[in-house]
Amino acid sequence: MISLKKSQKLFVEGQKHLVGAVNSPVRAFSSVGGNPIFIKKARGSIIVDVDNNKYVDMVLSYGPMILGHKHKLVQNAITKATKNGYSFGASTQSEITLAGMVCDAFAKMDKVRFVNSGTEAVFSALRLARAFTGKDKIIKFSGCYHGHADSLLVAAGSGLATLSLPGSKGVPEDAVKNTLIAEYNNLESVETLVSANKDIAAIIIEPIAGNMGVVVPDDCFIKGLNKLAKENNILIIADEVMTGFRSKFGGAQDLIELNADITCLGKVIGGGFPVGAYGARNEIMEMVAPLGGMYQAGTLSGNPIAMAAGIATLRELKKQNPYSKFEDNARLIEEALLNSAKEFGVDLQVNKFGSMINPFFTDKSVTNFESAQNSDTEKFKVFFWELAENGVFIPPSQYEAWFLSSSLADKDVKKVVKSIRLALKKVSRL
Ligand SMILES: *Cc1c(COP(=O)(O)O)cnc(C)c1O
């Protein structure tokens, strides 16, 4: 048994002045039982907790650490940037550099605005879509998570799915009355909403859903969305906060041929620092202040240290081009999951896309939120802790994607494969 003594001590201490000892509910271990693991440090593919247990990290800060932890070039870039100061409330060259790199990676993005989180990127994009179209309603899909803005905390994935919450307390009816909910991979559910509502400004979607576990869209679903949006003057907002730069240098929207009008980014483009962004073609972005009348601002937006981390991360990502290696490693992990599940007679589905993958404990294929919720979360609990015992750290939730980084070495993959087998063996004894 691994010792988690110091983590337990910090968990007790932390609860005094922090809510549940965490600053984000996904870090609580409520759905897997036991106490949260407190982290001391990480480097490359390995994360170390306060009790000095070492794990191959497949959480990767929920996505940002695509090069692995504490990459040398990122570290150097940050160190260099801090020598000039930390924040100025005025523009710097680094913002222009990162904006150029991001816009170059998206065919239909002429301009971008940097903010401090994915949440901020998304709620700003909604405001922009409403400003541009002059319409109020939006369609979102159940199981997709778009940050914690009031109007988006309905039928949301991520922590709400983990905690089985339908929405959030404190959100007034008025804040969600313009949010319409459709089902992922179900074009008809979107068509019904579009024909019944005249004033839809935008359809917001995770191109590859990652916050109900990984769910990949059908071709005809995406084709249908493109067509519906075009015919009805509805903007498509691609929430690529998770998927941006994860499965190619740019957006997953290219790989599935989603015609996004506005794209939201976060996670990877900050390289571990708080950065979000939304971008679109000129015509749309020129609505944003100071060029236009849609207001959105931020004291720390485009922070020079965060920009330096983002630039170094994207530069290195472009140079390494790890995307086919991601596919290979994801395939090995998928095979391990499926083969071991078969060996021990455990009902299991595996969904993956690029460097995102996760198993669902169910015998039915998972194509939307409803089918994701067929999963046996009791089995997941046992699986999670047995992986931890064997040196692999995955998100403490059935409804979160596992991430791969370019620092994952062959020996790390071997360890993950071996640990998966042991964990599924234990699950089969339930
Ligand atoms: C993580 C995430 C967000 C929210 O980003 P934060 O930086 O946590 O505010 C929004 N949308 C998607 C798809 C995400 O995965």
Give the pLDDT confidence of 388-430 residue by residue, as tens digits: 999 999 999 999 999 999 999 999 999 999 999 999 999 999 8
Q: Is 0.85 topped by the overall pTM?
A: yes
Fold classification of 72-320 (topology level): Aspartate Aminotransferase; domain 2 (3.40.640)
Whole-number pLDDT of residue 172: 87
Atom number in ligand 1 closest to CA 147: 4
The per-residue pLDDT for 159 is 78
Say if ligand 1 is within 6 A of residue 337 CB: no
146 C-beta closer than 6 A to ligand 1 = yes
Instruction: Using most ligand atoms within 8 A of CB, pick from 24, 62, 119 the residue to mutate for ligand 1.
Output: 119
In this prediction, residue 86 has a pLDDT band, given cuts at 50, 70 and 90, of very high
Q: Where in the chain is the domain with CATH 3.40.640.10?
A: 72-320
Residues whose CB is less than 8 angstroms from the CB of residue 183 and which lie 6 or more positions away in sequence, other chains included: 141, 142, 189, 368, 369, 370
Burial class from Cβ neighbours inside 10 Å (0-12, 13-18, 19+) for residue 111 reads middle
- Distance from residue 103's CA to the centre of ligand 1 (Å): 20
Cα of 275 vs centre of ligand 1, distance in Å, is 11
Asked if residue 216 lies in contact with residue 349, where contact means CB atoms within 8 angstroms, the answer is no
Predicted pLDDT at 162: 76
In angstroms, the CA 203 to CA 197 distance is: 13
> Any idea which residues carry the catalytic annotation?
145, 239, 267
Q: Tell me the β-bridge partners of 264.
A: 239, 278
Per-residue model confidence (pLDDT) at position 53:
98
Fold of 5-66+322-427: Aspartate Aminotransferase, domain 1 (3.90.1150)
User: Does 163 have pLDDT greater than 90?
Assistant: no
pLDDT at residue 351 greater than cutoff 80: yes
For residue 267, pLDDT beyond 90: yes
User: At a CB cut-off of 8 Å and minimum separation 6, what does 411 contact?
Assistant: none
Q: Is 37's C-beta closer than 6 angstroms to any atom of ligand 1?
A: no
pLDDT at 165 over 80: no
- Tell me what percent of the residues of the chain surpass a pLDDT of 90: 93
Pick from 13, 80, 111, 67: which is nearest to 404 by CA? 67
Report the mean per-residue pLDDT for the chain. Answer: 96
pLDDT at 258 over 90: yes
pLDDT for the residue numbered 317: 98
* End-to-end CA, the chain: 19
Q: Whose CA is nearest to atom 15 of ligand 1?
A: 242
Kindly state the percentage of the chain with pLDDT values over 70: 100
pLDDT tens, position by position, 173-222: 888 899 999 999 999 999 999 999 999 999 999 999 999 999 999 999 99
Q: If you measure from the C-alpha of residue 209 to the centroid of ligand 1, how many angstroms do you get, rounded to a whole number?
A: 12
> Tens digit of pLDDT for each residue in 112-142?
999 999 999 999 999 999 999 999 999 999 9
Segment 7-15 mean pLDDT? 97
Mutate to test the pocket of ligand 1, among 160, 239, 241 (most ligand atoms within 8 A of CB): 241
The atom number, within ligand 1, closest to the CA of 267 reads 7
Q: Is the CB of 118 under 6 A from ligand 1?
A: yes
Q: 211 CB less than 6 Å from ligand 1? A: yes
pLDDT, mean of residues 317-324: 98
What's residue 205's pLDDT? 98
Task: Quickly state the pLDDT bin for 160 (edges 50, 70, 90).
Answer: confident
Asked whether 147 lines ligand 1 (CB < 6 A), one says: yes
pLDDT at site 157: 80
Name the segment(s) of the chain with CATH classification 3.90.1150.10: 5-66+322-427
Contact 26 CB / ligand 1 (< 6 Å): no
What is the rounded average pLDDT of the residues 292-320? 98
